[in-house]
Chain A
Amino acid sequence: MLAVPTTDNVYSQITSYAQPKGSYQAAGDYVTTDIYNSDFNTTSDNVINLPYQNREQVFTTTASAGDIVTFPVAFSSVQGCICHVQGNSDYNVKAFNVTNTGFTLHINSGGNNAPIVVYAKGKK
C-alpha cells in the first residue's frame, strides 16, 4: 500500500531509517559541569565531597589520650565520627566530645602516640 507523502509520514520514515532505537535523556535533563564540580570538587584526598552538601573526611594521625583532634576542615554540622587504632596494638580508642571541628580522644587506661584512623561524616 502506498503511503501518502505527508510531512508526518516523511518524518516518521526518516526517523525510523536513520535514528538508532532507544530511550534518550531529555534535552537539558543532566548535571552540568558547574554542578558536578560544586558537588564533588575537593583539594584534599582526606576530604570527600558529595551531593546535597554532604562531606566525608578520612585521615590518619598519631595522638595521645585526652588530645583534641581536629578535622582537616570544619563541618557545618557533624553527623558522626568513628575513630580506631590503625596498627598492631591493643589500644582501645574512642572519639568523644565530637564537635563540628573535631573530637577528644579517649584511650582505655590512657596511652600515648596511638596511630589512629578517623572517619567523620557531616555537612559542608
Chain B
Amino acid sequence: MSDVKTDYPARYYASYDTTATQPTQVTGWYDTWDMSSLDGVPAASSMVVVTETQWNDATFHLPIGKGVKDGVIVDFMPTAPLTTQASYALSSARTYVQNNYTILNETTPDAWVTYLKALMAIANGTDTTSTTLPTAPTT
C-alpha cells in the first residue's frame, strides 16, 4: 500500500504542463500530506518541489504569475493564444461598431469592416499566418 510521505516526500509541489514549451505556467499548488485523496494528483516526479519557506511566502505562492523553467519556479506571465486574443478583441470591436454606427443607422467605415474581418479570420482559425492582432482603427 502506498504511503503519501513515501510517494510525495517533499510534501509541497507545483504542477505544470510537462509537454509545454518552457517557461510554462504553474497549474496547481499541492499540499499532498493534507489531502483526503490523492486521486488525480500528478506523480511527484512530474511536479516541482516547493520548499516550506516558498509555500508560506505570500509573495511567491501566488494564484497567478508563476511558471516552471528547467525544474525551477520562476516569474512568468502567460500570454493568451492569438485566437483567444482575437475573440476578445472582436467582441469589443463589435460593441464599438454597434454603439457608434449600427444603432445610429450610419454606415460602418471600411477601416472597421476590414478590422472586424481580420479579427474574425484569426478567431475562427481561417487565418493561421498572423502572429499579432491587427491594429484597431483610430475612429
Contact = CB atoms under 8 A, between A and B. Distances in A.
Contacts of A68: 25, 27, 64, 78
B73 to A, nearest CB: 12
A100 B63 CA distance: 13
Contact of B64 (A69, A73, A76): A69
Interface in B7-65: 15, 25-31, 34-41, 56, 61-64
A123 B40 CA distance: 13
Given A101-B27, A102-B27, A109 B91 contact: yes
Contacts of A62: 64
Given A64-B80, A65-B88, A123-B36, 20 more contacts: A59-B63, A61-B62, A63-B64, A66-B85, A71-B28, A71-B63, A72-B61, A74-B29, A74-B41, A76-B37, A76-B39, A100-B28, A101-B15, A101-B28, A101-B29, A102-B27, A102-B63, A110-B89, A110-B92, A124-B36
Interface of B: 15, 25-31, 34-41, 56, 61-64, 78, 80-81, 84-85, 87-89, 91-92, 95
A99 B78 CA distance: 18
Contacts of A73: 29-31, 34
Q: Bin the interface of chain A by size.
A: 20 to 34
Interface of A: 43, 53, 59, 61-74, 76-77, 99-102, 107-111, 118, 123-124
A61 B64 contact: yes
A62 B62 CA distance: 11
